[in-house]
Amino acid sequence: MQLIDGKQIAQDIRNEIARQVQGITAEGGKAPHLAAVLVGNDGGSETYVSHKVKACQEVGFQSSLFRYPDTISEAELLQVVEDINRNPDIDGLIVQLPLPRHISPDKVTEKIRPEKDVDGFHPANLGRMVKGWPCYLPATPNGIVELLKRSGIATAGKHCVVLGRSQIVGLPMSILMGRAAEPGNCTVTMCHSRTADIPAITRQADILIAAIGKPGFVRADMVKDGAVVIDVGTTRVADPAKKSGFSLKGDVLFDEVAPKCSHITPVPGGVGPMTIASLLQNTLLAARKAIYG
């Protein structure tokens, strides 16, 4: 069994990005600039956004954090997005999800100019991904593709089972694994809450990608010998032994499943660090105007 070290692979990518930023600024160019919009005080979102801002600083990007109380109206937030859309100094924009219930995430996502949508959530970028055109790929699925590539895992002709159909992970993941590319060229099955007999399907997986947010859902008897298992779960579970008061639990019962795998990602230190690395990659593409010209 080989552990896929997402922390190390993400660090390699960040080093590559930092070198490219040095190249841009050495030639008198402007450092890429990411804007993050954070609404309210959700603990998870606070942590993710602060990690994103810190990662920007580490690679030499400029970053701006726009914070608003959860009393901001939808119209006001749409105006914030529009102002950032029109700001020529800002290359990429993310609005951290989830948003308060009175604000439609779809309306906000659609307001972001596709050229600045480095999350890859805008319908224009999702549509371009489905077409196989150049686009900003959503960060977590793209990070997983990068993990498979840099771990030398062959995917063509393999059966990939994706657990979960979320718009952020499961749905785009199934499209990327099925496309005519390497990594890709898989036969893909997507399982969700209405799937009958999930274990019968996961047992057929050469590559199993679990993204349902249920800690320990994938047990040893659901996994084929020699499978590659990618765990996207990051559920916070109370843990008095930790200073933060919680620990992160994956969707896979690691101790039980790992001995059966050829490769497996740990939680934490697997997929998580790759998500931020992908966001940085997209922001660099935005600054270089590599997708939309």
Judged by CB, which is closer to ligand GUN: 117, or 206? Answer: 117
Residues 250-289 that bind ligand GUN (CB under 6 A): none
In the complex, residue closest to ligand GUN by CB: 97
Helix/strand/coil for 63: strand
Judged by CB, which is closer to ligand GUN: 32, or 120? Answer: 120
Work out whether 95 is an interface residue with ligand GUN (CB under 6 A).
yes
Q: How far is CA 227 from CA 29, 136, 145, 155, 209, in A?
A: 45, 29, 16, 12, 10
Asked if residue 286 lies in contact with residue 118, where contact means CB atoms within 8 angstroms, the answer is yes
Task: Tell me if residue 2 is catalytic.
Answer: no
At its nearest, how many Å lie between ligand GUN and the CB of residue 249?
Answer: 17
Work out whether 168 is an interface residue with ligand GUN (CB under 6 A).
yes
Q: What is the DSSP letter of 267?
A: S
Judged by CB, which is closer to ligand GUN: 115, or 206? Answer: 115
Sign of the torsion angle spanned by Cα atoms 253, 5, 134, 176:
negative
How far is residue 125's CA from residue 121's CA, in Å, rounded to a whole number?
Answer: 7
Task: Tell me if residue 255 is catalytic.
Answer: no
Task: Please identify which residue in 97, 198, 220, 248 interacts with ligand GUN, judged by CB under 6 A.
Answer: 97
Binding span for ligand GUN by CB under 6 A among 62-70, 94-102, 181-189, 190-198: 94-102
Binding span for ligand GUN by CB under 6 A among 91-99, 182-190, 201-209, 240-248: 91-99
Write the CB contacts of 51 (distance below 8 Å, at least 6 apart in sequence): 276
Work out whether 119 is an interface residue with ligand GUN (CB under 6 A).
yes
Write the CB contacts of 156 (distance below 8 Å, at least 6 apart in sequence): 182, 184, 185, 186
Please pick, among 5, 119, 206, 251, the residue that the annotation labels catalytic. Answer: 119
Binding span for ligand GUN by CB under 6 A among 6-14, 15-23, 95-103, 194-202: 95-103
How far is residue 169's CA from residue 153's CA, in Å, rounded to a whole number?
Answer: 20
Task: Please identify which residue in 10, 21, 108, 139 interacts with ligand GUN, judged by CB under 6 A.
Answer: 139
Sign of the torsion angle spanned by Cα atoms 236, 226, 140, 287:
positive
Judged by CB, which is closer to ligand GUN: 168, or 175? Answer: 168
Asked if residue 6 lies in contact with residue 147, where contact means CB atoms within 8 angstroms, the answer is yes
Task: Tell me if residue 96 is catalytic.
Answer: yes
At its nearest, how many Å lie between ligand GUN and the CB of residue 21?
Answer: 21
Q: Residue 165's closest CA among 216, 217, 212?
A: 212
Binding site for ligand GUN (CB under 6 A): 94-97, 119, 139, 168
Residue positions annotated with a catalytic role: 52, 96, 119
